[in-house]
A and B are shown apart, each in its own frame.
Chain A
């Protein structure tokens, strides 16, 4: 691995997350992939080890780092199980809108229990009719006195049902289109707020995905984050900040699969020698390792740019997410290939990485949408 000149604190995070991955995540990954049980025990360990707060300011109970710290943790966890890692990182996605748009009062109220990992968060944007086209939202938030009344359905929401704190985008003024969307905090247990059934997924099966159902759900007006009409911009800025995190998840999946493939290639014998002595396998491994390292360089660099407070980070975080997830898909597919027929069997670890990798090309904006963002960035830049 290239030396990214991480700080002592960042190296500490990495070591600690690696220890948690080896001792607490790897031993249960295959089991949770089968049972789809939510990994509460691991969440408790992460919480006790202060890891839910790595990207949150110290005055709100965090450790004062940024998205790079979150990436380092997510990468390590994802090497062991991307599903468990997602339970952790999706909470950050749900928390970021509060960090970015919350008032001092809102931050003081919501962030400390999230930083301590006593509560998980979730982010609710996607709806059945509004996926890539987030401007087609149907969920409404109608202002009535000092309350908003929410109605509608969000779907495919990670940590849905298991999280306590939800940041949700709803239309406060449908006539204004994308400019009529607003961002709210909704807490689990609010009357009129319920959950749909848990989705049965191809991969990341330790992570839960559910519908959020709002049926005349009444929330105080203090739960509005930022101003009315900011919702769509807020969602986009949240993604610009958080996308390196998906890149880190993809990176961890790819590295995890590569590690297994390399070990297996050295052990497996055919034609009287280990398959790692065949140039055909060596070149595959060389490509995989190079792609993983390139993805890491891009993910870390874009995370550092976000943490430095640069203004236009959309293009680079889209690149990090898109490239790392494409690498994850390719590297995990090659890992299955190196395992041969064993790679196709659930008894061996390779196929799970491949199933887990696929989602990273889809959520937080599909890779087609990432390419749109990158292209728009290029065109805008050259128009100046």
Chain B
């Protein structure tokens, strides 16, 4: 079984500070880490390989220094790593990101399962997993909390919903995004760390993935960001205390005033 795990390098938000003057994130000197949700994707990929055989290829699109997260993934048990990196990718929104990742996955070709994290802790859109699946035109199961069975080219998984969970079955190749209930990621092994240190990381540029240039980077990104802001905190509710009859009357009056 051949598995592709998509991971993203993100700033360690536990270390991110806000510049008191510009109100921007201070990214300088902040450690970069593997997107925490992607640690579960890596672990699940490695576990599936341990159970079913095959290999795990980890990919990321990012600047040259994103190589570090690929090495970490190798220390955790992934077999191969590909860095998708080119100036042409700069300014990609989620659409362009999905397109680029899909082209890379098409180039890898021989795969049964693509695993993504639920969302990235910086971009936070949770669009990339589903976007890659639809670009590749393969089935997807999002928010997977447990893989029940993989058999005869079918995968059965539990997907977490707000009320509980759904059991979904689909054909492979397919893409899943995982939530943190799915497993407990392991720590690296010494052999893994050594392998990671000496591993040769393949780098693919735009030309290597046979991509349509107009769909890459800024050119391929229709999204326009109008404004970035922190939503104001929800105002505190009011609690009516004391005599129930009296409280209800007060509440009704208040609602009337609010024109409800």
- In the bound assembly, the distance between CA atoms of A69 and B55 in angstroms comes to 31
**Interface footprint category on B:** under 10
Closest Cβ neighbor of A69 among chain B residues: B190
Q: Is A164 an interface residue (CB 8 A)?
A: no
Q: Are B186 and A48 in contact (CB under 8 A)?
A: yes
Decide if A329 is an interface residue (CB 8 Å cutoff).
Answer: no
Number of interface residues of A (CB under 8 A): 16
Which chain A residues lie closer than 8 Å to B190 at the CB level?
12-13, 16, 49-51, 54, 63
Is A19's CB under 8 angstroms from B191's CB? Answer: no
A118 CB contacts on chain B under 8 angstroms: none
Residues of chain A from 11 to 63 with CB closer than 8 A to chain B in the complex: 12-13, 16, 19-20, 23-24, 45, 48-51, 54, 63
Q: Are A63 and B191 in contact (CB under 8 A)?
A: yes
Determine the distance from Cα of A49 to Cα of B194 in the docked complex, in whole angstroms.
Answer: 12
CA distance A45 to B194 in the complex (A): 18
Instruction: Report if B188 contacts A (CB, 8 A).
Output: yes
Give the one of A9, A12, A63 with max B CB within 10 A.
Answer: A12
A120, B12: Cα distance in complex, Å: 37
What is the minimal beta-carbon distance from B184 to any residue of chain A, in angstroms? 10
Q: B193-219: which residues lie under 8 A (CB-CB) from chain A?
A: 193-194, 197
| A20 lies within 8 A of B187 (CB) | yes
List, in ascending order, chain B residues with CB within 8 A of A19's CB.
187-188
Complex CA gap A20/B190 in Å reads 12
Cβ-based interface call for B135 (8 A): no
Determine if B187 and A16 form an interchain contact, defined as CB atoms under 8 angstroms apart.
Answer: yes
Chain A positions within 8 Å of B193 at CB level: 12, 16
- Cα–Cα distance between A182 and B189 once the two chains are bound (Å): 37
**How far is it, in angstroms, between the C-alpha of A216 and the C-alpha of B191 when the chains are bound?**
43
A9 & B187 in contact (Cβ 8 Å cutoff) = no
Q: Name the residue of chain B whose CB is nearest to the CB of A19.
A: B187
What is the minimal beta-carbon distance from A84 to any residue of chain B, in angstroms?
Answer: 15
Interface residues of B in 151-206 (CB under 8 A from A): 186-191, 193-194, 197
Q: Contact: B189 with A48, CB < 8 Å?
A: yes
**Are A12 and B194 touching (Cβ within 8 A)?**
yes
Please list the residues of chain B having a beta carbon within 8 angstroms of any beta carbon in chain A: 186-191, 193-194, 197
Which residues of A are at the interface with B, using a C-beta cutoff of 8 A? 8-9, 12-13, 16, 19-20, 23-24, 45, 48-51, 54, 63
Given contacts A19-B188, A49-B190, 5 further A-B contacts (CB under 8 A): A16-B187, A16-B190, A45-B186, A54-B190, A63-B190
20 pairs of residues in contact across A and B, judged by CB atoms under 8 Å: A9-B194, A12-B190, A12-B193, A12-B197, A13-B190, A16-B187, A16-B188, A16-B190, A16-B193, A19-B188, A20-B187, A45-B187, A48-B186, A48-B189, A49-B187, A49-B188, A49-B190, A50-B190, A54-B190, A63-B190
